[in-house]
Structure 1
Amino acid sequence: MRGTIKKEGTSWFVLYDTGKDPVTGKRKQKKKRGFKTKKEAEKFLSEKLNSINNGTYFEPKDITLNEYLNYWVDNYARLNLAPRTLEHYNYIITQHLKPTLGKIKISNLQPFHLQEYYTQKLETGKIEGGGLSAQSVKHHHRLISKVLKDAVKWQFISRNVAEAVSPPKTKKVEMQTWDNERVKTFLDASQSSVYYSIYLTAIYTGMRRGEVLGLRWQDVDLENNVIYVRQSLQEVKKVGLTFKEPKSGKGRSITITTTLSKELKKIYKVQLEDKLLLGKEYHDLDLVFAQKNGKPIQPTEMARNYRKLVESSGLPYIRFHDLRHTHATLMLQQGVHPKVVSERLGHSSIGITMDTYTHVLPNMQKEAAQQFDQLIK
């Protein structure tokens, strides 16, 4: 008999054969205790015997979550994640997951462990005191889900318990953008800034900050007024400034206006002069937006300048990233098809664009209805 069920005090246990040890040739048996009813034990035994017969049985690894997280970082994260993403995940793992859940055997991890973890993080999760935001805890949940999904794939465990747990609900933050008059005010106020051309590019293209700062001349076609987004600049602690592929993982093209094209031509001319002046001291990385010596622009320095400009101009403050949202909102308000806006922003689907900019759609529908009314009349 390949499996037996017996009572032990008030609970039941299961004993079953898993086959022969390939080295010793001896029969291997597994024992599972703690079933409250005989029916639960029978169900468990049936599932195990079926998996053994089908050749899908494996023994969960007898390691702690701590040990598995180290394995995951070394064998997956370091090889597949962008430096900044790896840095962020490492922080969550070392500062949160390991101290709270690390000692639990990965095979013993249960949904209630994660549910209690989320509750605790919402209440007292901050290192300096206080609770984490629901959005932050949701990031933890996504990481845990990914980590355990890989554990199932690599046969460390038989199921992903994160699938049985719901992360806290997050409130949708209202998007902050400028209208066309405020955009003009900001551009007028920033004309004397060394970063003016960067602000202009962000507003006129909807590119992310890293994409603008990582733009190369080889990716700019001034004859046809097209920019190709193929790399992004990012700042990583202990590493410095690095380049990576765009967030979507693939490049995209953005048609630019004559105004922006003229500005880029001015920059190109100034850079040629800088190269001649500095000679070998010029660090030629082919960057469109660079320091006078050719090195990449420090994102944090530019961010400080941006904040000062917004404050001095008297405009309501919006983040640099909101210039991207401003670009998309203004285009949609002008009647540009959402598919075109989606392609300019580099969204993987038009659905993301529609979901992100739902605040624009009611007015667009109103205008469309009025235009239809005029057409019929």
Structure 2
Amino acid sequence: MASGSIEKRGKRSWRLIVEVGDSGERDKESRTIRIDDPALLKTTKKLQDYLDDQLHQFKREVESGTYMKPQKMRLDEFYENVWKPKYASNPTNLSPLSYKTYQTYYNSHIKEQLGDKELGAIKTIHLVTFVADLHKPEARKDGKEGCLEPGTIQYIYRVLKNILKRATEWKLIKENPIIGVKKPVVEQSEGEFYEEEEANTVISTLYQEPRKWRLFILGALVGGCRRGELVGLEWNSVDLKNRTMDIVNSISLTEEGKAVEKGPKNKSSKRTIALPDWYVEELKIHRKEWLKNMWEMKEAELWKGEDREYVFHGGYGKPFYHSYPYRWWTRFVNRHKLKKIRFHDLRHSCATLLIEDGAPMKAIQKQLGHAREQTTSDTYAHVTKKLSRDTADRFNKFAPENSRPQSVPKS
């Protein structure tokens, strides 16, 4: 059985000591903790209770074999036994989609190069070399030619930084070695979007398609919604009377045939969107068709939506597979030979059209669910610059050569 003791090390630090083994040979483990809470430091009993609790938890880790010595733990061990269960698997820390993406990049790029290294042995120069090697063609693991995209390299860096940050916060290493590694640069592209005339063409072409798909696509183009927000939209979030819909849910991942639901991307993404009258009229028709379909499917015992009412589904009540709308949109654009833009760029098109129509940046921020107005301004700076140029050009008529009095020829 383990025995434990507490030693005061400094003004605000204590060492927890746990000994395990028989009387002949006992292993000693220690952990230093620091307390910065002034209220806790002032009260002797509360301080002692806290220290005893910390010692008890430490003893349990040592006795159960889950304790690993700082510095000696390999990156792979930390990733599997600590980072994943104690941080990454918690959806309040990482969304389900981000968690899955982090695991993919760790297993495909980080594990092989750094997984066997002890945390304390990973130095900044190792990570500088690792990031530099990611720019080489051999860093690709998918069999394709060329080098990794800059965005992919930056994401791998982000995953590694997150893991090492947790190891630092939890006192497994004294300093985070990635701090001295320059973040890979990705040039931000302006992205494609539809101008007003192009948007009109897309909308008129959508009237050749099923109503549910027309409404889904227009939810991005007119409402500024993200794909996952539309996939997760339910009828109880749609107010046909007041012509609004609430964005409170998102589905950006499907695992084992089941949708993984979460809240919107961030706090500000939870929002209410005002809808155009003509869009609401179409929604009302869609609602009637939706109810008819539901009752028919229930009578045939084919309904799979249970008590959920997803606005957009494939006919049986279950929400679309998270990536299916993207594939439908790509086929639609190709079929009608329209200007090719990504599904997400429909959202950008919504913002662009609003800016060009003179909508206030604050209103556009709320429509898109950006956390800060500055994010909206930075994202669409290329549009506002173009409008500024157009505005300035309006004053060309006042150029000196146009306003200078014409000389009168002598008779």
TM-score (norm 2): 0.74
How many residue pairs get matched? 335
Task: Tell me the amino acid that sits aligned with residue 262 of structure 2.
Answer: K
Matched, 1:258 2:258: no
Equivalence map 1:67-78=2 (5 Å)? 67-70=77-80, 71-78=82-89
Residues 308, 21 of structure 1: alpha-carbon distance in 2 compared, 3 angstrom cutoff: closer
Match of 1:313 in 2: 336
Q: Which of 286, 289, 295 pairs up with 1:267?
A: 286
Matched, 1:365 2:388: yes
Question: Following the alignment from structure 1 to structure 2, what is the Cα–Cα distance between the partners of residues 254 and 79?
Answer: 29
Task: Tell me the amino acid that sits aligned with residue 236 of structure 1.
Answer: T
CA displacement 1:304-343 (0-9 Å, x = unmatched)? 3322221232222001111000000000011111111111
Q: Which of 196, 213, 221 pairs up with 2:231?
A: 213
Q: Which moved more, 1:126-135 or 1:105-114?
A: 126-135
Q: Which of 132, 145, 149 pairs up with 1:119?
A: 132
Residues 113, 237 of structure 1: alpha-carbon distance in 2 compared, 3 angstrom cutoff: farther
Question: Following the alignment from structure 2 to structure 1, what is the Cα–Cα distance between the partners of residues 317 and 330?
Answer: 24
Give the superposition deviation at 1:362. 1.6
Q: Which of 184, 189, 197 pairs up with 1:173?
A: 189
Question: Following the alignment from structure 1 to structure 2, what is the Cα–Cα distance between the partners of residues 223 and 175?
Answer: 36
For the residue of structure 1 that corresponds to 2:89, the secondary structure is: helix
Equivalence map 1:151-230=2 (5 Å)? 151-194=167-210, 195-230=213-248
Question: Following the alignment from structure 1 to structure 2, what is the Cα–Cα distance between the partners of residues 304 and 90?
Answer: 24
Matched, 1:335 2:346: no
Task: Tell me the amino acid that sits aligned with residue 100 of structure 1.
Answer: Q
TM-score (norm 1): 0.80
Match of 2:404 in 1: none
CA contact (8 A) 1:137 1:167 kept: no
Match of 2:73 in 1: 63
Give the superposition deviation at 1:354. 0.8
CA contact (8 A) 2:293 2:315 kept: yes
Matched, 1:352 2:375: yes
CA contact (8 A) 2:237 2:246 kept: yes
Give the superposition deviation at 1:53. 12
Match of 2:54 in 1: none
Residues 239, 294 of structure 1: alpha-carbon distance in 2 compared, 3 angstrom cutoff: closer
CA contact (8 A) 2:254 2:322 kept: no
Question: Following the alignment from structure 2 to structure 1, what is the Cα–Cα distance between the partners of residues 16 and 334?
Answer: 74
Question: Following the alignment from structure 2 to structure 1, what is the Cα–Cα distance between the partners of residues 359 and 378?
Answer: 16
CA displacement 1:114-168 (0-9 Å, x = unmatched)? 1111111111221134421221111111111111111111110111111111122
Match of 1:148 in 2: 164
CA contact (8 A) 1:186 1:313 kept: no
Give the superposition deviation at 1:62. 1.4
Give the superposition deviation at 1:300. 3.8
For the residue of structure 2 that corresponds to 1:158, the secondary structure is: coil
- Identity of paired residues, percent? 27
CA contact (8 A) 1:231 1:244 kept: yes
Residues 172, 54 of structure 1: alpha-carbon distance in 2 compared, 3 angstrom cutoff: closer
Match of 2:147 in 1: 131
CA displacement 1:178-200 (0-9 Å, x = unmatched)? 11111121122222323111112
For the residue of structure 2 that corresponds to 1:254, the secondary structure is: strand
Q: Which moved more, 1:330-339 or 1:146-155?
A: 146-155
CA RMSD of the aligned region, Å? 3.1
CA contact (8 A) 1:87 1:236 kept: no
CA displacement 1:76-130 (0-9 Å, x = unmatched)? 1112322221111111111211111011110111111111111111112211344
Q: Which moved more, 1:122-131 or 1:157-166?
A: 122-131
* Gap regions ≥5 residues in structure 2: 1-13, 21-25, 37-68, 398-411
Match of 1:102 in 2: 115
